[in-house]
Amino acid sequence: MLGDHSSGRRTMCYYRVATHPVIGCRRGTRGFDSNLFTRSKLDFHGSNPRNEEDTRQEDKSNPFSSPGSRQRKKGMESPPPPPHQLTAPLISKHIQEEDHDIPSSSSASASPDDNSPVEQVALTVPVGDDPSIPALTFRMWVLGTVSCVILSFLNQFFWYRNEPLTITSISAQIAVVPLGHLMATALPERVFFRGRRWEFTLNPGPFNIKEHVLITIFANSGAANVYAVHIISAVKIFYKQNLTFFVSFIVIVTTQVLGYGWAGLFRRYLVEPAAMWWPYNLVQVSLFGYLLSLSSLKFLVQAEHKASYSGYRALHEKAKRPRGSLTRNQFFLIAFVCSFAYYVFPGYLFKMLTSLSWICWIFPNSILAHQLGSGMKGLGIAAIGLDWSSVCAYLGSPLASPWFATANIAIGFFLLMYVITPITYWFDVYHAKTFPIFSDGLFTSSGQKYNISTITDSNFQFDAGAYEKQGPLYLSTFFAMTYGFGFASLSATVVHVLLFHGRFIRYSKQLLPIFMHIPAIGIATSFRAKVVGTLISAMVHLGTAWWLMNTIPNICDRTKLSPDSPWTCPGDHVFYDASVVWGLIGPRRIFGDLGTYAAINWFFLLGAIGPLLVWLAHKTFPRHRWIRLITMPIMISALGEMPPATAVNYTTWILVGFVFGFVIYRYRRDWWQRHNYVLSGALDAGLAFMAVLLYLCLEFEGIKFNWWGNKLDGCPLAPCPTAKGIDVDYCPTS
């Protein structure tokens, strides 16, 4: 950013890192002046920009600079952005209140020109950078690798359990802070290979925020679920086929690295625009507070003064305690201890807190009551979970979801779960009463489990004759409906984008690059951390899964496991069912002209009509801005995580999201700004540490606490069919 105080306003100039030209300037406006182009040399860190006098002199001779643009530089306002330009409202003045817990250069006090157009981002992330801070240090590689290995092992380990526990990278993000400071104190400052290309030191100075960000990138690689492990589990556990470790590793690495290619293709539309913000990232960013406006090949340079290194937040800040309140450090520590101590109840002493289905307690012998009230095997009416792991197990933290997204999911969930599902079940659509009301299983026409091994030959190929003999495969009606809504969400997404964003995409090539807030650590540097973390994560995830599959008897086999066994693998069961439907038998025999569920294809048309109706309503009533917030793809795909997610995961998530995303955000904005994302991170971290401690100290030693409070859900009749004459174990015959 080049300072120009002649008119009392600042001129913002943006540079390309790779080619070093200034690609655009602006003065006191959200739009870019495409006529203000010049060139400048700039190193990778954005240092040593030319002074403002040189820039003004060069601008006078710029052939692309029109008289109108030069007049605007003297004080006139730039014209408003064209109608196809993506814009969003800046923070209103009444929100820009003083926050004693935020450094002076934070985004909350930054000018609107410097800030993000998204209010939640602007309230959370500060603006500033110190390019002299080292990033690729010995500490970063050691702590990053260790974090990636530990999280990869733990998350794959817990993924096979009945209630999968996801230990987020928040845990590593917190744990490495004292370790980083310890290494900065204890390691020698000796420099190796001095004067050579590979020169490095074990201790470049104090543990800094850029190292912390890169370590968290490593940890994120370990915390993410490696989807291809489902393939290995399905082949080895369910299909009983042999697969070598080397072939498995190639499959996993290929699928993991493929994601970087897709990310590059869609970066222009999903990452670079400032309005394309990712809410869940703000949880961790609130602990860093260290972001700078830039994109993959662009950098904002402040030449007025060296950007102060004041981007510390919860884990790095040294803030004065506001009167009558807490600093982020204090608040985080209190919330962390409370979460850590509380999880001993839903995690070990009182597991029923995961799903309090009180309707089942009132009517213990009623199948209907259990179907309605069960939070884990039914519709979950009035069921609630007091376990943070059940709240964020599948949908992520509700504190990180903006209210409009939470509201869309809530509306979609209630319509699909409490209107469409009961109607289809009690009208016996697709013989719904023959099967459980909520199940991911595969059934025969008589309601029994489908034996997949009988329709495969010795070469692991589909046997059409055996399939005709055993009969067609059936799904629970709810499971079939989730496939239908999945089809609808695909067409709804395409139509929604074309109607609401098609004009922007059409003119996107004519627009200047759009800038957003991402960590100022260098694109090449962050990419190295991502790739290395991905490779390490793939190896550890596969190694852990391989070890568990070979050491735990009957893992994932619900028919052979004891009722209280935690190794039921809900996610792998859903993947296996999908592999049978889409791979072994094929969609034609399920959803095609040879299948039972051919009518499900009409959902494609219904999904396309939904966004069209919203678009017409928006055009008819343009003053009602809330209509535009109705996002049909989100609403239709509300049940996208079900199964394996259950009703209680949604009901509790929606309730918590309403409290924090609407009530507190609207009526206690200052509290939300200081503590919302910090609270989310503290709850994750406390739960994760206690869960690991409980397993190592109690579960691993076989120490159990058997009583009625540890019977999950307490609704044993929820999976029972209600059709007459169906005989299923553990269920009364109608």
Summarised one tens digit per residue, pLDDT across range 312-357 is 345 665 556 767 778 777 888 899 899 999 999 988 889 889 889 9
Q: Provide the angle, in degrees to the nearest 10, between the axes of the packed helices 523-551 and 245-270.
A: 140
Average pLDDT over residues 460-480: 89
State which amino acid sits at residue 423.
I
The pLDDT, as a whole number, for residue 120 is 64
The pLDDT, as a whole number, for residue 61 is 40
Helices (H), 227-300: 229-233, 245-270, 281-288
Residue 16: CA count within 13 A, CB half-sphere: 12
DSSP 717: T
Phi-psi region of 703 (alpha: psi -120 to 50; beta: other; left: phi over 0): beta
The pLDDT, as a whole number, for residue 41 is 31
Asked whether residue 534 carries a pLDDT value surpassing 80, the answer given is yes
Query: What is the rounded distance in angstroms from the CA atom of residue 121 to the CA atom of residue 716?
Result: 45
- When pLDDT is cut at 50, 70 and 90, the band that residue 99 belongs to is very low
SS3 per-residue string spanning 35-59: CCCEECCCCCCCCCCCCHHHHHHHH
The pLDDT, as a whole number, for residue 672 is 87
Helices (H), 552-646: 570-579, 602-620, 632-636
Match 């402040």 to its residue by tokens: 302
Query: What is the rounded distance in angstroms from the CA atom of residue 355 to the CA atom of residue 210?
Result: 41
C-beta of residue 599 within 8 angstroms of C-beta of residue 424: no
The pLDDT, as a whole number, for residue 705 is 80
Between 212 and 28, the more confident residue is: 212
Helix (H, G, I), strand (E, B) or coil at 527: helix
What is the torsional sign of CA 91, 96, 100, 106?
positive
- How many residues appear in the chain? 734
Report in angstroms the alpha-carbon separations of 504 from 105, 262, 511.
Answer: 33, 21, 9
The pLDDT, as a whole number, for residue 508 is 54
The pLDDT, as a whole number, for residue 503 is 75
Nearest by Cα to 172 from 211, 143, 204, 134: 143
Instruction: Tell me the per-residue pLDDT of 300-319, one tens digit each, with 9 for 90 and over.
Output: 223 222 322 333 345 665 55
Percent of the chain with pLDDT over 70: 73
Residue 146: CA count within 13 A, CB half-sphere: 13
The token duo for 65 is 């600079």
C-beta of residue 352 within 8 angstroms of C-beta of residue 711: yes
The pLDDT, as a whole number, for residue 394 is 83
Q: Provide the angle, in degrees to the nearest 10, between the axes of the packed helices 170-186 and 138-159.
A: 150
State which amino acid sits at residue 247.
V
Between 420 and 13, the more confident residue is: 420
Match 């530089």 to its residue by tokens: 73
- Beta bridge pairs of residue 443: 449, 474
- For the chain, the straight-line distance linking the first and the last C-alpha, in angstroms and rounded, comes to 76
- Which range of 61-65, 132-136, 491-495, 695-699 scores highest in mean pLDDT? It is 491-495
Instruction: Tell me the per-residue pLDDT of 409-422, one tens digit each, with 9 for 90 and over.
Output: 999 999 989 999 99
Helix (H, G, I), strand (E, B) or coil at 730: coil
Q: Where are the domains of the chain?
A: 1-81
- When pLDDT is cut at 50, 70 and 90, the band that residue 141 belongs to is very high
38-46 CB contacts, 8 Å cutoff, 24+ apart = 38/13, 38/62, 40/15, 42/15, 42/17, 42/299, 42/301, 44/17, 44/522, 45/131, 45/132, 45/522, 46/15, 46/17, 46/129, 46/131, 46/299, 46/300, 46/301
Match 């869609």 to its residue by tokens: 266
- Beta bridge pairs of residue 294: 299, 516
The pLDDT, as a whole number, for residue 132 is 75
Match 């209107």 to its residue by tokens: 419
Match 């069961």 to its residue by tokens: 573
Query: What is the rounded distance in angstroms from the CA atom of residue 703 to the CA atom of residue 293?
Result: 52
C-beta of residue 721 within 8 angstroms of C-beta of residue 444: no
Helices (H), 95-205: 119-124, 138-159, 170-186
The pLDDT, as a whole number, for residue 372 is 92
The pLDDT, as a whole number, for residue 652 is 94
Please tell me the pTM assigned to this model.
Answer: 0.72
Asked whether residue 100 carries a pLDDT value surpassing 60, the answer given is no
The pLDDT, as a whole number, for residue 85 is 36
The token duo for 307 is 């950007």
- When pLDDT is cut at 50, 70 and 90, the band that residue 171 belongs to is confident
The token duo for 427 is 């009208």
- Measured CA angle at 358 (ends 353, 360), to 5 deg: 115
C-beta of residue 677 within 8 angstroms of C-beta of residue 327: no
- 475's enclosing H/E stretch is strand 474-475
The pLDDT, as a whole number, for residue 59 is 42
Instruction: Tell me the per-residue pLDDT of 385-403, one tens digit each, with 9 for 90 and over.
Output: 999 988 888 888 888 888 8
Instruction: Tell me the per-residue pLDDT of 358-387, one tens digit each, with 9 for 90 and over.
Output: 899 999 889 999 999 999 889 999 899 999
Query: What is the rounded distance in angstroms from the CA atom of residue 542 to the CA atom of residue 249?
Result: 7
Nearest by Cα to 76 from 111, 29, 110: 29
Query: What is the rounded distance in angstroms from the CA atom of residue 604 to the CA atom of residue 9?
Result: 53
Match 């009230």 to its residue by tokens: 373
Instruction: Tell me the per-residue pLDDT of 176-211, one tens digit each, with 9 for 90 and over.
Output: 888 888 888 888 888 888 878 777 788 888 888 888
The pLDDT, as a whole number, for residue 213 is 85
Between 618 and 170, the more confident residue is: 618
